[in-house]
Structure 1
Amino acid sequence: MSKSLNVLVTGMGALIGQGVALGLRNDKRTSIIGLDRSYSAYGSSLCEEFVCKPKVDDRSPEYLEFWLELLQQKRIDLILPAISIDLDFVDAHRMTFEAAGVRLGINSAALISVACDKMNFYKALESLDVPRIPSAQPKSWSDALEMMGPAPLLLKPRRGEGSQGHALLIDEADFLYWTQKANNENWMLQPIIGTDHEEYTVGCFGLDNGEFLDEMIIMRRRLTRSGNTGLAEVVDHPLILETSRKLMRYFKPVGPTNLQFRVAAGKAYLLEINPRFSSSCSLRTSFGFNEAEMCVDYFLRGKRPAEPQIKFGAAQRYSADFIVYESNYI
C-alpha cells in the first residue's frame, strides 16, 4: 500500500514530536513532514521530510503565511501539533486552516482554553465531584500558610508545561523571591500532595460529546529533572480509572488527552490536564496505546479508532547518541 496521506508533525526537535512520529513509523498510510524551529538530526531521521520554521515572530503575518504556503506545497492532509506553542497557534487559526482543506488533530477549543491556565482550571473543577488541590495567589507568606498548611509549598506558573518554573518554598524569603521573579503574576501556590512514588499519568482519547475510548493507559511514573517521565510502569488503578472517566465525561475532550494525578489518603488528586500529546506518548505507544495512529483514524478517516490492546510492563528512558557523519548542521 503506497503512502498517500501527508501528516505534519510539529515539535520534531523535542521529545513529544519525536514520540508522535515514532507512533506513525509503522503506519503504511502516512508520510511524515516534520516541523521545528531548529533542525534536529534525530528528528529528521523519523520523517520523510524536515522543515525549519522561519526566524520571524509567531504573531506576525509572515509566520501565518509560512504555514499556509507549507500546507499547500507539501499537500498536508493532517496537522498534529505536538507542543503547546504550536497547539495554541493552530487553535487560534482553526478556521483559516480548515478553510485551506486541512484536518486538525487538536482538542476542543473550550478545553484548550480552560486548561491553559492552571488557576482557571482549578476553578472549573468546582462543580465536579473530584478531589482538588488547593490553589491560590496569596498576598503574603502568612496568608499562604493559613490557606494551605505548613511548608514546603509549591509555586508553579499558571501557564506552562512539565515542571518548568516550579519552585519549592520553604520560608518567607523563598516566597518573596519567587513571587517577585514570576512574570506578570503568572504563578500560583499549592500544597505538596502525596509523594513522588504515587504520581500517575493517564492516556485517554476523546471522541467529543463526552464519549471516549473505553481503554485508557495508566502509568505510575517518576519524573526526570526536566519534568518529563523518566521511569514508568503500566498499572491497574480502579480509583484513577473511575476519576479519569468522570473527567472525560465532564470536559468532553477530542483526541489525545493526558491526565496527571497524585494519590494520597485514598484519593486521586488531578494535577493537570494536557489537551494534547504529552512527553510520554512514545511510551504509551510501546505498550499498545498509539495516539498518533488513532488521530489518523479519527481526524482524517472519520472513524472510531479500534480499542487499544494494553500491555503491562515497565520502561526506563535513557540518553543515547545519534550520529550523523560528515555533517555541519550545528
Structure 2
Amino acid sequence: MSPETLVVRVLVTGVGAIIGQGVVKSLRQLPGVYIVGLDRDPQAFGRHACDAFQVKPQVAETDPAYERFLQELLEREAIDLVLPGIEQDVFHFDARRELFASAGVAVVLNDSRLISLARDKWRLHQALLEAGLPAIPSSRSTDWEQVQAELGPAPLLCKPRQGSGGRGQALVENEDDLHYQSRKQGENFMLQRLIGSADEEYTVGLFGYGDGESSRPAILQRTLGPGGATWCARSVAGDPLIQSACEALTAHFRPVGPTNYQFRKADGRVWLLEINPRLSASVSLRAALGCNEAAMSIDYFCRGQRPALAEWRAARCSRYIEDHIEYL
C-alpha cells in the first residue's frame, strides 16, 4: 500500500485474541487502512494479518515503562486511532485517556461510567433496578431459604460479579453448592435466577452516540462455544422486543461507540444478561453481515460522523478451527 493511498493508521491491541483478530479482519474490508498489531505473544497469529506488528513489553500496564512504550509506538507509527481488542486494554486505556489525548490520538472507548458499571455485574444489576429497567432476580445472600425465597427454586446460576465469557459460572443445585460457591468466589459471589434456555440467547451490537441514541441494533441469535464466545449464529432482521430493550438501555446508559448487549428471552420478555461496553467476540461476524463496527469507529472517532447501520444481511454463521503452518 503506497503512502499516498493511506487514509488512517490504526493500532489494534490483542491481535492474538479472537476480538483483536476480528477487528483486523473487519478493517481489511476497508481501503486505505494501515494496521499495526500489538500483542504480548511474539508468535500471535493475528500478526500475519497486520501491516506491522509490535510485541507488548513483558511488564505490567501500570509500569511507567509501558506508558513510554505506548507513547513511542503511537508517535513512531503515526497512529490515528487505537482499537482495543482485549478487555484488559479497555480498562487500562480508560484510566489513561490523557495519554492518548496528549498524543493527539483517538481511542475507541465507551463512556467511563458505563465501563466501570458493566465491569461489576452486581452494580449493573442495582443500576437496572434503580432505573426501573427489567433485571434478572439476583442475590448475594448465602442463606439457602432466603435465596430460594428471592430467586425461586434451584437450579440457580452462580455468576462472578467480575468476569466475562461465562468464565467461573456454575449451577447451584442445593445448599451445599451454595456454600461451596460462596467460599470459592468470596466478594465476587452473586446468584441469579436461571432464565430461559441457550436456544433463546442473543448478542446485539450497536454503535452509541453518547446522547441516548444509537445505530440500529445488529441482532444475532447465538450458540456459545469454548470460552464463552459466539460459535454459531443466525442474523435476525428485526425483533420488536429486543429493539425496545436496546432503546431503553441506550437511552438510560448513553453508550459511546461499539456496545454489546446480551439477552435471553423467557416468558414473553427480554432479559439482559450483561453489557459489554466494547467490541465483542462476534465483531467479525457482524462485519461480514453489514455492521462493520471498526469502520463505524473510524467514522465517529476520527471524522466526527454518526455511523448508521445501512445493511443487515440474512445469514447463518459458524466458526471453525483452521491450521496455520510456518515451515522452518
TM bracket, shorter-chain basis: over 0.9
Say whether the 8 Å CA contact 1:206–1:256 is kept in structure 2. Answer: yes
Match of 1:104 among 107, 131, 143: 107
Name the amino acid aligned to 2:184: K
Q: Partner residue of 1:287?
A: 289
Say whether the 8 Å CA contact 2:201–2:262 is kept in structure 1. Answer: yes
Distance 1:306 1:263, change over 3 A: closer
Offset at 1:306? 4.1
Superposed, which structure 2 residues align to 1:24-35 within 5 Å? 24-35=27-38
Offset at 1:41? 4.6
SS of residue paired to 1:112: helix
Superposed, which structure 2 residues align to 1:81-92 within 5 Å? 81-92=84-95
Say whether the 8 Å CA contact 2:83–2:107 is kept in structure 1. Answer: yes
Say whether the 8 Å CA contact 1:12–1:40 is kept in structure 2. Answer: no
SS of residue paired to 1:33: strand
More helix by share: 2
Counterpart Cα distance in 2 of 1:66 and 1:140? 50
TM-score (norm 2): 0.95
Say whether the 8 Å CA contact 1:133–1:191 is kept in structure 2. Answer: yes
Q: Partner residue of 1:202?
A: 204
Q: Which runs of 4+ in 1 moved over 6 A?
A: none
Matched, 1:192 2:194: yes
Match of 1:128 among 124, 131, 139: 131
SS of residue paired to 2:53: strand
Offset at 1:277? 0.3
Say whether the 8 Å CA contact 2:207–2:307 is kept in structure 1. Answer: no
Offset at 1:196? 0.7
Counterpart Cα distance in 2 of 1:247 and 1:190? 20
Offset at 1:140? 2.5
Say whether the 8 Å CA contact 2:84–2:90 is kept in structure 1. Answer: yes
SS of residue paired to 2:223: strand
TM-score (norm 1): 0.95
Counterpart Cα distance in 1 of 2:188 and 2:109? 25
Q: Partner residue of 1:300?
A: 302
Q: Partner residue of 1:225?
A: 226
Counterpart Cα distance in 2 of 1:4 and 1:288? 21
Counterpart Cα distance in 2 of 1:20 and 1:325? 27
Superposed, which structure 2 residues align to 1:238-257 within 5 Å? 238-257=240-259
Superposed, which structure 2 residues align to 1:1-330 within 5 Å? 2-182=5-185, 184-213=186-215, 215-235=216-236, 236-326=238-328
Point out the more displaced range, 75-84 or 273-282: 75-84
Counterpart Cα distance in 2 of 1:306 and 1:325? 44
Which consecutive residues of structure 2, in runs of 5 or more, have no partner in the other structure?
none
Name the amino acid aligned to 2:320: Y
Offset at 1:290? 0.3
Structure 1, residues 147-166: CA drift from partner, whole Å, max 9, x if none? 21111111111111111111
Counterpart Cα distance in 2 of 1:298 and 1:31? 18
Say whether the 8 Å CA contact 1:79–1:103 is kept in structure 2. Answer: yes
Offset at 1:75? 1.4
Counterpart Cα distance in 2 of 1:239 and 1:127? 21
RMSD: 1.4
Name the amino acid aligned to 1:135: S
Offset at 1:127? 3.5
Counterpart Cα distance in 1 of 2:289 and 2:265? 23
Say whether the 8 Å CA contact 2:39–2:55 is kept in structure 1. Answer: yes
Counterpart Cα distance in 1 of 2:96 and 2:169? 30
Say whether the 8 Å CA contact 2:142–2:179 is kept in structure 1. Answer: no
Say whether the 8 Å CA contact 1:290–1:308 is kept in structure 2. Answer: no
Say whether the 8 Å CA contact 1:205–1:255 is kept in structure 2. Answer: yes
Counterpart Cα distance in 2 of 1:17 and 1:82? 4
Name the amino acid aligned to 2:318: Q
Counterpart Cα distance in 2 of 1:138 and 1:29? 54
Offset at 1:57? 1.6
Q: How many aligned residue pairs are there?
A: 324
Name the amino acid aligned to 2:241: L
Offset at 1:139? 2.4
Name the amino acid aligned to 2:144: W
Offset at 1:325? 1.7
